[in-house]
Structure 1
Amino acid sequence: MIIKEKIIEIIEADEWMMGILHTAKRLNLPDWWIAAGFVRSKVWDALHGITERTSIPDIDVIYFDNKKLDKSQEKKYESLLFSFMPEVPWSVKNEARMHQRNGLPPYQSSVDAISKFPETATAVGVKVDERGKVVLAAPHGIEDLVQLKVRPTPFFIESDERMEIYQARVQQKNWKETWGNLSIKL
């Protein structure tokens, strides 16, 4: 069974991932994390014995700053990250404003926002702390992630509308084609 420390070890052994984490850390964003597919795909690749990195559409850098809510600030951070690592598909979002886009009450932090991602296996984030060590946030635990289970977070289960979003997302992502051992709850 993979434990949290093993996930951190896998990430710390990946030079590309560590380069991305240290680059994002350079922005010194408040309550920042790299979330979602960045972690999920690495773990699923490892559990499937996939040695060549599965491509991900973007690197989701999230942060929480309720004093600077202008979307243009996010674009400035993206541009800065592109100037450091132009080959990386950066996406930067301030979770202090993302609740508006999603029609929800305000998030309290980045980890609160992560807890409201659609799938438990995707509701994970990593960052490096001031000592350069990887820190993992998994508000719903890592069990589903490491047991290759795709299911909705409690937040998505609460609403028929959100469950429809979850179901459409899972079908659109077609993860089982890449990671055949997944168990997907529709």
Structure 2
Amino acid sequence: MSDKAARLEAIVRATPRLMTVLETARDLALPDWMIFSGAIYQPVLNHLTGRAPDYGIKDYDLGYFDASDISYEAEDVVIRRVAEAFEPPLKEMVEVRNQARVHLWFEQKFGEPYAPLKSTAEAPGRFTSTLFAVGVRLEPDDALTVVAPFGLEDLFAMRLRPNPTRRTAGFSRTAEAALRRWPELVIVN
């Protein structure tokens, strides 16, 4: 494990609400599941800037991958099952998406094409920034699996740069929103 991965793990494990989400998600045993994006990078930024661990966290993105049924109805069953596993406020904050069906709605919602994914671990590689592209899964043996397709350098350097494989007009808006919460960020275009 790299030094940065070990630092990430220590921060994640020291974030009680995030650990509750990870433990509950693990107990649900969804196929190929992972918590990613803001639920992971925001506690790191908060740690680096001396803020409370949950500062700025609006939701916890829980992705899973089930290509056996990519209907909204099947996803909705999982959404309801996950919601029942949490107490408020987490019940309202955990957002569940079957990564096997994101390509069905992404272009209509965000105005850009989205090729089908083959696994949940592929999803972070599509996020708008390299800093956001991190996910974790708590394994049955309590080990933490970290997925960071662009590495963790930008995250720990607090460097917000566009995803080099996905140029999107939305990056500027995303960067502005992040800067409002963490003015210490360095934006690299």
Fold in common (TM above 0.5): yes
How far off is 1:105 after superposition?
2.1
**Are residue 113 (structure 1) and residue 114 (structure 2) matched?**
no
How far off is 1:32 after superposition?
0.7
Report if aligned partners of 1:34, 1:62 keep a CA contact under 8 Å in 2.
Answer: yes
Equivalents in 2 of 1:49, 1:167: separation in Å? Answer: 25
Name the structure 1 match of 2:109.
none
How far off is 1:28 after superposition?
1.1
- Give the letter for the 2:80 counterpart: S
- Report the count of equivalent residues: 179
How far off is 1:2 after superposition?
6.0
Equivalents in 2 of 1:16, 1:183: separation in Å? Answer: 27
Within a 5 Å distance, the mapping from 1:19-168 to structure 2 comes to 19-51=20-52, 53-86=54-87, 87-88=89-90, 89-102=93-106, 103-157=113-167, 162=168, 164-168=169-173
Change beyond 3 A, Cα 1:17–1:121: same
Change beyond 3 A, Cα 1:175–1:34: same
Name the structure 1 match of 2:110.
none
Q: State the secondary structure of the residue aligned to 2:35.
A: strand
Equivalents in 2 of 1:15, 1:168: separation in Å? Answer: 30
Report if aligned partners of 2:66, 2:99 keep a CA contact under 8 Å in 1.
Answer: yes
Q: State the secondary structure of the residue aligned to 1:176.
A: helix
Equivalents in 2 of 1:175, 1:53: separation in Å? Answer: 15
Identity of aligned residues (%): 27
Q: State the secondary structure of the residue aligned to 2:97.
A: strand
Q: State the secondary structure of the residue aligned to 2:170.
A: helix
Report if aligned partners of 2:33, 2:64 keep a CA contact under 8 Å in 1.
Answer: yes
Q: State the secondary structure of the residue aligned to 2:76.
A: helix
Equivalents in 1 of 2:3, 2:43: separation in Å? Answer: 13
How far off is 1:156 after superposition?
1.6
Structure 2 unaligned spans of 5+: 107-112
How far off is 1:52 after superposition?
5.2
Tell me the alpha carbon deviations over residues 128-151 of structure 1, each in whole angstroms, 9 at most, x when there is no partner.
Answer: 112022221101100111100111
Name the structure 1 match of 2:178.
175
How far off is 1:42 after superposition?
0.4
**Which range moved further: 83-92 or 118-127?**
83-92
Report if aligned partners of 2:15, 2:43 keep a CA contact under 8 Å in 1.
Answer: no
TM-score, normalisation: structure 1: 0.88
Runs of 4+ in structure 1 over 3 Å off: none
